Structure 1
Amino acid sequence: MPDSDKRPFVLIVDDVPANIRILAEFLRDGHDIRVAARGADALDLARRLPPDIILLDVVMPDMDGYEVCRRLKADPVTAEIPIIFVTAKFAPEDEAYGLSLGAVDYIVKPASPAVVRARVKNHLELRAARETLARQNAALTEAAKLREDVDRIMRHDLKAPLTGIIGLPPLILNEGNLSDTQSMFVHLIEESGLKMLSMINQSLDLFKMERGTYVLRAESMDAAAVVRRLFVEMATVAGYKRNVLALTVAGRPDDGKMPVRLTAERLLFYTMLANCLKNALEASPEEGVVTVDLRPGDPAVITVTNQGVVPADMRGRFFTKYATSGKLDGTGLGTYSARLIAEAHGGTVRMETSDATGMTTITIILPQR
């Protein structure tokens, strides 16, 4: 479709001059008209000066309209031009055949001026809408690609300066002559650098999971030990609202000693459970109980249950990227990354929440290889 300040270009193809004159008269207001009396001329003109729409007769010498349509649709230069058959062939099978070749419409002669103008207008607008949508899709695709490229570059480029940040504190500490306060600050710098490096590495892993290129390094591990460690690390967070953290194994209280063996990638398993626990603690009421239950087997089943229900607007998008509700500092990546990690293990994760019981449970199912 031409620019909005240009008149649409209509190509009329018919071997009868009187028919061309009639159609041209119908469309002379608001359209630029070009004509062709033979199929070969129509093909040549359409390639050299692609029109915005073609009105095509069927019965013509040398090459009929059906063959002209077939060739136009086979040529990348002309394939997207809408074609309307305008013909005296009125049998239903003729119309069906014409439409099957790629024509957008079929008008039987004699046609009224109003019908011809309305059909041409509608198909020109449809073509313009399709082209606008295609441009928007291309722009969105390019923007998404640019964002991915920037994200990937930042992930890789941030690791280089972090190497210096992490490597310098041990050298400074080895030099000595630091006060206790100064030593504490240097340790904090090193710890913060290591945490940032871990975040970048996890971000790279999630990037690979999104594209299905992550290579899983599963091993036999003690899931109970991971949960106990998380409870210690999250004790401060739980303490803000006096929440209780409880571990059960197949429904029975953990004795703090027995291992629960399952096969998973240790760091990913830790990250997945940490995200689920953090989410559960944030959603729990004062003095609420958050329970992690481990059920070994094939598949292994891990549940994280907390008091409190998921907001209605979150239930259908709980595991989608950037989904968050009512959190000023929420990124919407916690449950999303938990889903990606579960799927990287060949497993699944689901959420169940109940207004009746006031409880929410996240269930993770991990096949054991």
Structure 2
Amino acid sequence: MTHKKPRILIVDDEPNNLRLMMQVLADRYQLSFASNGAKALEIVHKIYFDMLLLDIMMPEMDGYEVCRRLKADEKTKHIPIIFVTAKDDSYDETRGLELGAIDYIKKPISPAIVNARVKNHLELKFAREKIEQQNKKLIKASELKEDMERITRHDLKTPLNGIINFPRLIRMGGNLSKKQLLYLDMIESSGLAMLNMINLSLDLFNMEKGVYKFQPAQINILEIMKKSITEIQSLPETNGIFINIMINGVPADKADSFLVKGEELLCYSMLSNLIKNACEASPKHETVTISCNYVQDKAYISIHNMGAVPENIQNNFFDKYVTSGKKSGTGLGTYSAKLIAETQGGSISFDTSEEKGTTVTICLQTQPSTSASGS
């Protein structure tokens, strides 16, 4: 396989200098020549070049001005420029580098130095371009993966409709035992849970992209908590953990409510993740306490357990894929909780120590958000 030689434009108003450069570089590179700055700019906009070797002292338009114009143009600003000049003052060299040149070769030139500098800078250019191409491919692959996952999640809803709806049709036929009715309830509940998971994953994707449309309603978050707690306490990993709910320092009663502005599915997912995490982190036979308080027009929900967040993840506790000590942990629970809280116009924070344990605090609005979209 043959490879094209890199193309270099040499700009100098002295014919002898152009001939010398041709003798030094012609064997390795495709060379073009310009005797002044205006001609150089004209050629560069017609032909692609991998590098420019540019004299500074030229009539009408000096090399500095040529460099400035090339770097100001989106189409040519990435072309590496090496100044080749008899000006040997450090001020001149500094000025050239500040304008965007990558190197400065002084005349009279050394063929060995010219060859080495040109070779090294071209290798750096090609390596950088290769990395940029690889990054573009990775980004494209990531976008394709996201598109496929989003399509898959969307398409899963069709078979789920059957799983959710057929149990209701079967019940209508009658003549079912209590065990059969229980199984149908379990099938329907599992289908609904999966549908909620799919909907939430699509919502989280939109939140990450900043395009989620937040539609707040007044919801009783105590009902959502109790539903989450019932499901969480049935899990083997939460066995032996007690959960208390407090409202303004008093144990919650069945008739109590704690109203916030949010979306039911989002709050359910956020609280389920955080309460489950608290139970898993809590020492056995300890109590997880959920405290609900109003402060002016804000609603605060604090979830406390006696376990401490490991020091190695404290600084990035809410980051994506951060987890510690859980074999099946994905590191998405606290990340999604933060995303959901902020999308609903709220915030989330935590405090942890070996002596006092860990408290995760969610702040939500009690009044309608002034914005219709997520943060």
Q: TM-score range by the shorter chain?
A: 0.7 to 0.9
In structure 1, the partner of 2:301 is 302
In structure 2, the partner of 1:336 is 335
In structure 1, the partner of 2:349 is 350
What is the number of equivalent residue pairs in this alignment? 366
- 2:2 and 2:314 map into 1 onto residues whose CA distance is 45
Distance 1:255-1:171 versus aligned 2 partners, 3 A rule: closer
In structure 2, the partner of 1:262 is 260
- 1:158 and 1:63 map into 2 onto residues whose CA distance is 66
Residue 180 (structure 1) shift: 4.6
Q: Secondary structure of the equivalent of 2:76?
A: coil
Contact 2:229 2:272 in 1 (8 A): no
Q: Secondary structure of the equivalent of 1:35?
A: strand
- 2:20 and 2:14 map into 1 onto residues whose CA distance is 10
Which of residues 11, 17, 20 is equivalent to 1:19? 17
Which deviates the most, 328-337 or 257-266? 257-266
Which of residues 99, 102, 107 is equivalent to 2:100? 102
- 1:243 and 1:72 map into 2 onto residues whose CA distance is 68
Q: Secondary structure of the equivalent of 2:234?
A: helix
Residue 42 (structure 1) shift: 3.2
In structure 2, the partner of 1:57 is 55
Gaps of 5+ in 2: 368-375
Distance 1:53-1:265 versus aligned 2 partners, 3 A rule: same
In structure 1, the partner of 2:218 is 220
What is the correspondence of 1:228-307 to structure 2 with a 5 Å cutoff? 228-237=226-235, 240-297=238-295, 298-307=297-306
Which deviates the most, 164-173 or 63-72? 63-72
Distance 1:192-1:231 versus aligned 2 partners, 3 A rule: closer
What is the correspondence of 1:1-369 to structure 2 with a 5 Å cutoff? 5-27=3-25, 30-61=28-59, 63-73=61-71, 76-91=74-89, 94-95=92-93, 97-237=95-235, 240-297=238-295, 298-355=297-354, 357=355, 359-369=357-367
In structure 1, the partner of 2:371 is none
Distance 1:240-1:61 versus aligned 2 partners, 3 A rule: closer
Residue 145 (structure 1) shift: 1.4
Distance 1:323-1:186 versus aligned 2 partners, 3 A rule: same
Distance 1:261-1:78 versus aligned 2 partners, 3 A rule: closer
- 2:356 and 2:50 map into 1 onto residues whose CA distance is 61
Q: Secondary structure of the equivalent of 1:226?
A: helix
Gaps of 5+ in 1: none
Contact 2:8 2:50 in 1 (8 A): yes
- 2:23 and 2:277 map into 1 onto residues whose CA distance is 70
- 2:184 and 2:258 map into 1 onto residues whose CA distance is 38
- Of structures 1 and 2, the one with the larger relative CO (CA 8 A, separation 6+) is 2
Which deviates the most, 152-161 or 94-103? 94-103
- 1:151 and 1:16 map into 2 onto residues whose CA distance is 62
Contact 1:250 1:294 in 2 (8 A): yes
What code does the residue aligned with 1:336 have?
Y
Contact 2:323 2:330 in 1 (8 A): yes
Quick one: percent identity of the two aligned structures?
Answer: 48
Distance 1:95-1:4 versus aligned 2 partners, 3 A rule: farther
- 1:48 and 1:233 map into 2 onto residues whose CA distance is 69
CA RMSD of aligned residues (A): 2.9
Residue 141 (structure 1) shift: 1.8
Residue 343 (structure 1) shift: 0.2
- 1:221 and 1:169 map into 2 onto residues whose CA distance is 29
Distance 1:64-1:303 versus aligned 2 partners, 3 A rule: same
- 1:353 and 1:4 map into 2 onto residues whose CA distance is 63
What code does the residue aligned with 1:368 have?
T
- 2:237 and 2:41 map into 1 onto residues whose CA distance is 78
- 2:318 and 2:192 map into 1 onto residues whose CA distance is 28
Which deviates the most, 246-255 or 41-50? 41-50
What code does the residue aligned with 1:158 have?
L
- 1:347 and 1:95 map into 2 onto residues whose CA distance is 54
Residue 169 (structure 1) shift: 2.0
Contact 2:238 2:280 in 1 (8 A): no
- 2:116 and 2:249 map into 1 onto residues whose CA distance is 71
Contact 1:238 1:281 in 2 (8 A): no
Q: Secondary structure of the equivalent of 2:328?
A: coil
Contact 2:200 2:265 in 1 (8 A): no
Q: Deviations over 1:236-265 (max 9, x none)?
A: 237853111112223343344433333333
